[in-house]
A and B are shown apart, each in its own frame.
Chain A
Amino acid sequence: MELLEYTFVRNALLSMLFLSVMSGVVGTYIVVRRMSFAAGGVTHASFGGIGLSYYFGFNPTIGALLFAVLTAVSVEMLHTKEKIREDSAIAMLWSLGMAIGVIFMSLSPGYAPNLMGFMFGDVLTVSTSDIVASGVTAAVVLLLAVVFYRPVMYVSFDRMYASLSHWPATLISIVMAIVMALSISLSIKSVGIILVLSVFTIPQTIAGMMTRTLWSQMLVSGVIALIGCVLGVVFAFYFNLPAGATTTALLSVVLLASKVTIYLYMRR
């Protein structure tokens, strides 16, 4: 409990709580719609916004957020309206975002001190404004999940049938793409560009092995993400390790253990 005496630890835990809510809802949406590659594209393309922010001198989180939203919406529009293959659209925007980031980083004078923080994240350095932004987004995500649970589930399950039933399938997909981009870009500060994908895919994969419905997968993956993140911070604190990488490693161990347990149970 001595850990809670530190403000940065309390901030980190609060940040992890909000991250887990976003991970539970949005991560499950990503996994069941098989959008992990799209999520990877959005995450990496946001580097373009970070590069721009360093060059023009504004908040990198806002830059990442703008690029993430732009990429997510562009992928959806290029795929549905322009009939460009989704994986091709993702690959193009992924590299373009990274390229823009690298170009503006190299044009920026001096040294980019927080660059490593954005690449690998550091939950122990999140600011109060970061926490407020994450908290508001987590609340919106939770509200959307409760009110639009069925439309989102049905459009994700069978988009063609949803369209035939006069559901605005494209609008729902675009809104969810924006929500995904917001959640991912606001989580970058905590776990970093390289590791954020693990929090949005590993708990959901573990939860998918033990649940049958979308809402239970969202709930269980949120709890797994929270436990994984908290343990990650605790381990990182006591063993002086990077928190994001420790969390990813822990979640991967739990995934492996779950797979082995199920395998052994089935062989019984």
Chain B
Amino acid sequence: METTEAIMTLRDVSAGYDWRNIVSGISVSICADSFVGIVGPNGGGKTTILRVMLGLLKPTHGSVWRRSGLKIGYMPQVVDIDHEFPISVKDVVLMGQMSGHRLFVGRESRRKAEELIEMARLGAVADRKIGEISGGQRQRAMLCRALMSEPDLLIMDEPATYMDRNSETTLQKMLPSLSQKMAIVMVSHDLESVMSMAKEVILINGTMRRVSSKNMPHHNPDEYFIHSRQS
């Protein structure tokens, strides 16, 4: 499918927590133009794979290869952030630029943050506290933060969970143009939304099956999810 070289490869990876593997036998190759959707039920291991990709979790078996100097932008689930923290939307977005050891924010970074904030239609709430905006707006702020460093790979964890229809439409409009510039890995439990955007879909339920989103109608994902756990 991909025409470009791989930027990240997971080979026969097993990973989990507290001596118990949540996923096993995972082999995925992400290329510069990939748009991969990872779909599965709760507890199926989606977030575990994502943490392995981010380097936050070491595999118990197999290997992970990342291209040297690979820049990864990460959009976490909004439930993972502290909503009461006194930080403005603009400062959250600027956090994406604070990679390395920069202590201060430059004029160029501020300009880039403002552009992204406008693109994500957050201009009106840019100076508000992160806890004072809606869940959908928070998701978009997290996306802007992930995009600030101009990543080669954008990893999104359940990006549409708290989005209303407007926010989801905004995201769906943004993603195709973003996928022209960077590889995207999107984790979701919503098969329909992933199928509408991703080029390839990985079904995860402890083990994995990689399919093309075009072929998805011929597969029955529910059946896979049920049987894969039993096998």
Contact B86 A165 (CB under 8 A): no
Contact A157 to B128, CB < 8 A, known contacts A150-B104, A164-B72: no
Assess A213 versus B95: contact at CB under 8 Å? Given A150-B103, A164-B74. Answer: no
Q: Which of A150, A156, A162 contacts B105 (CB 8 A)?
A: A150
Against B, the Cβ 8 Å flags (1 = close, 0 = not) of A144-180 are 0001101101101110111111110000000000000
Q: How far is the CA of A128 from the CA of B100 in the complex (A)?
A: 42
Q: How large is the interface on B (under 10, 10 to 19, 20 to 34, 35 or more residues)?
A: 20 to 34
Q: Is the CB of B99 within 8 A of A165?
A: yes
Most buried by B among A32, A158, A165: A165
Asked if B95 contacts A208 (CB within 8 A), the reply is no
Task: Check if B81 is an interface residue, CB within 8 A of chain A.
Answer: yes
The answer to whether A166 and B100 touch (CB under 8 A), given A213-B86, A213-B88, is yes
Q: Is the interface of A mostly helix, strand, loop or mixed?
A: helix
A153 to B104, CA, bound (A): 12
- Chain B residues with Cβ below 8 Å from A158 are 76, 80-82, 95
C-alpha gap A32/B129 in the complex (Å): 13
Q: Using A148-B103, A164-B56 as known contacts, say yes or no to A211 and B86 having CB atoms under 8 A apart.
A: yes
* Residue from the list A156, A165, A216 in contact with B98, Cβ < 8 A: A165
Q: Is A214 an interface residue (CB 8 A)?
A: yes
What DSSP secondary structure best describes chain B's contact surface?
Answer: loop
Which chain B residues numbered 103 to 141 have a C-beta less than 8 Å away from chain A?
Answer: 103-105, 127-129, 132
A157 and B82 in contact, given A151-B98, A213-B91 (Cβ under 8 angstroms): yes
Decide: B86 and A217 in contact? CB cutoff 8 A.
Answer: yes
Interface size in chain A (residues, C-beta < 8 A): 25
Contact B129 A150 (CB under 8 A): no
* Nearest CB in chain B to that of A160: its residue: B56
Bound complex: CA of A208 vs CA of B86, how far in Å? 8
CA separation between A167 and B76, bound complex, in Å? 18
27 example contacts (A-B, Cβ-Cβ < 8 A) are as follows A32-B85, A147-B103, A151-B98, A153-B91, A154-B95, A157-B81, A157-B85, A157-B92, A158-B76, A158-B80, A158-B81, A160-B56, A161-B145, A164-B54, A164-B74, A165-B95, A165-B96, A166-B101, A167-B101, A212-B86, A212-B88, A212-B128, A212-B129, A213-B87, A213-B88, A214-B85, A214-B86
Interface residues of A, Cβ cutoff 8 Å to B: 32, 147-148, 150-151, 153-154, 156-158, 160-167, 208, 211-214, 216-217
- Known: A32-B85, A164-B56; 10 extra A-B contacts, CB below 8 A, are A151-B103, A154-B98, A156-B85, A161-B74, A161-B145, A165-B95, A165-B98, A167-B101, A212-B86, A214-B87
Interface residues of B (CB under 8 A from A): 54-56, 72, 74, 76, 80-82, 84-88, 91-92, 94-96, 98-105, 127-129, 132, 145, 149
**Closest A-B pairs by Cβ, 3 of them:** A165-B99, A212-B129, A157-B85
